[in-house]
């Protein structure tokens, strides 16, 4: 789960959000986000889904199942130029962000 905590923090920082900003978007306290980022707590499936949606990334990327995150078109990020990481020449696969 080392990769999970790193990727949560990486995506949050890329959005230029504090832990409090992220916590308000996913419905938890800032302390819970801190625990996710330090690895002291692992998000539930429901929380992981909310994290992925709020951070405009796939849950697979957060979990380390994808090595490269494709650019995600996210209404919250539209026009802000937010790119977590871009996979070189990765074809779009149905159902995967």
Q: Is residue 5 part of a domain?
A: yes
CATH of the domain at 43: 1.10.260.40
Q: Helices in 1-95 by DSSP H: which ranges?
A: 2-14, 19-26, 30-38, 45-55, 59-63
Query: What pLDDT is stored for residue 11 in this prediction?
Result: 92
Query: What pLDDT is stored for residue 80 in this prediction?
Result: 54
Domain count, the chain: 1
User: How far is the C-alpha of 6 from the C-alpha of 89, rounded, in Å?
Assistant: 24
Query: What pLDDT is stored for residue 38 in this prediction?
Result: 97
In this prediction, the residues of the chain whose per-residue pLDDT falls under 70 are 69-97
Query: What pLDDT is stored for residue 12 in this prediction?
Result: 94
Q: Is 94 exposed, middle or buried (0-12, 13-18, 19+ CB in 10 A)?
A: exposed
Query: What pLDDT is stored for residue 1 in this prediction?
Result: 73
Model confidence, pTM:
0.76
Q: Is residue 70 part of a domain?
A: yes
User: How far is the C-alpha of 3 from the C-alpha of 19, rounded, in Å?
Assistant: 18
Q: Is residue 66 part of a domain?
A: yes
Query: What pLDDT is stored for residue 66 in this prediction?
Result: 84
């Amino acid at each position: 789960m080392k990769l999970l905590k790193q990727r949560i923090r990486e995506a949050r920082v890329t959005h230029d959000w504090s832990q409090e900003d992220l916590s308000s978007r996913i419905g938890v306290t800032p302390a819970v986000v801190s625990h996710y980022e330090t690895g002291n707590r692992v998000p539930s499936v429901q929380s992981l889904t909310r994290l992925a949606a709020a951070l405009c990334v796939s849950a697979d990327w957060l979990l380390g199942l994808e090595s490269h995150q494709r650019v995600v078109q996210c209404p919250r990020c539209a026009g802000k130029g937010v790119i977590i990481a871009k996979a070189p020449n990765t074809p779009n696969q149905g159902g995967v962000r």
